[in-house]
Each structure stands twice: as C-alpha cells, then as structure tokens.
A and B are shown apart, each in its own frame.
Chain A
C-alpha cells in the first residue's frame, strides 16, 4: 500500500482565498483524522471520522474550517476564507478501529500571505 496520500504537499495562497486540502487514507482503514501542526501549539486534532461519519469536530477552530468524507477513500479539509494565522502543516492520518496505530501522510504545508 502507498500509505496515506495527501495533496498538495505545499500550498501558498493569499488571504481571503479558499483552500482545499485532500487526503486518501489507507485502503481498509475506517478511521480518519485531520491534525494541524504549528510551533506554538504542537499537533492539534481538528476532526475525526469513523466510517465516513464525523465523530468529533470539537477541534475545528471556527466556521471557516470544514471537512468532508464523501466515501471511504477520500477526505477534504477546506478553509474559506483563509487567514495568515491558518499557516501550518496539516496532516491526515488513518487507522483501523481495531488497531490503534495511526498512519500519517506527509502533510500539506500551507502558507497564507
């Protein structure tokens, strides 16, 4: 398996623009997580899906952030409108419910100018 695949790897956008980050989890995994990593706050859980259903979105910072998982092999994290403070590395991870190890993608480095 190719592992968790995220795209794009790098994204530079202007403040106010819409940004969409994409994730393909490992085939057969039924839990998917979106995390945000910054120097100040470390690695924060944004949202957790199980069997494509959002279970816990309490980490989503505000209404500008939204996440979807239309099927078991694809998820998106959207920021609209983007702000400079959204600049961070965003990671997607997946796991089997029975196996608690989380497998991470390479991350998307987002820069909002």
Chain B
C-alpha cells in the first residue's frame, strides 16, 4: 500500500529562518500529493497539493514540488513565523482510492 516517510521532529527554528521538511513516498501509480497542517487542538487542514509530476503547490508562503523521479514532495518556506508552529503531514493519495495516507507528521516549533 501507499506509505510516506517524513523527517523526524521536532524541527526547531528561529523566526524568519528557512524551512525544509523532507517527504518521500511510495505509492502505486501516480498519486496526488498533499501537505496538511495541524495546529494545536485542531484537526488537520489542507496546506497545499500537487496532482501531477513537476506541479508546484503553494499556499501561505509554503511551497512543494512533485518530483516523480525522486518520489519526493519536500515542503519549503523562505521565512517562518511563530504562527507556523504546528505539525505537518505529507500524504500521498493513490488515484483509485482517494484515501489520504498519513504518517506521524513533523512537529515544527518556531521561536521569536
């Protein structure tokens, strides 16, 4: 089945630092790829997505590019803010089932 490997957290950064959270996946076929974010005490919400190879998803200053050749979908942001502190989940969803597959997520802590 589908699976995802994310870097272990927590990732601790100072405000305005550059962020990269690595994500690699295994899936049958050509899945859509998603990043979700979970703020404290809340459910997950979609951050960005890409549906085919070389697509770039972007939202709120975050970006991720669908790299089919390396099966990766790394999340980046040029300048993080304290309000970006949350848990981030990379999730592939194979085309036939549309079931998002999650892992443990990566906790991001941003200090002022």
Q: Which residues on A are within 8 Å of B, measured CB to CB?
A: 4, 31, 33, 35, 41-45, 48, 56, 91, 93, 95, 97, 100-107
Nearest 5 pairs of A and B residues by beta carbon: A42-B104, A104-B43, A43-B102, A104-B44, A100-B98
Which B residues lie within 8 Å of A4 (CB)? Answer: 43
Of the four ranges (under 10, 10 to 19, 20 to 34, 35 or more), the interface on chain B belongs to 20 to 34
Measured CA separation A48–B96 after assembly (Å)? 14
Extra contacts besides A41-B104, A45-B101 (5): CB < 8 Å: A42-B102, A100-B34, A100-B93, A101-B34, A101-B46
Whether B69 is near chain A, meaning CB under 8 Å from some CB there, is no
Closest residue of chain A to B42 (Cβ to Cβ) is: A106
Contact residues in B for A107 (Cβ distance below 8 Å): 42-43
A101 to B: closest C-beta gap in Å: 5
Q: In the complex the two chains form, is A95's CB within 8 Å of B98's CB? A: yes
Contact A102–B105 (Cβ < 8 Å): no
B contacts with A: majority SS: loop
Enumerate 29 A-B pairs (CB-CB under 8 Å) in ascending A order.
A4-B43, A33-B99, A41-B104, A43-B89, A43-B102, A43-B103, A44-B102, A45-B101, A45-B102, A48-B99, A56-B97, A91-B44, A93-B43, A93-B44, A97-B98, A100-B34, A100-B93, A100-B98, A100-B100, A101-B46, A102-B44, A102-B100, A103-B45, A103-B46, A104-B43, A104-B45, A105-B43, A107-B42, A107-B43
Check if B32 is an interface residue, CB within 8 A of chain A: yes
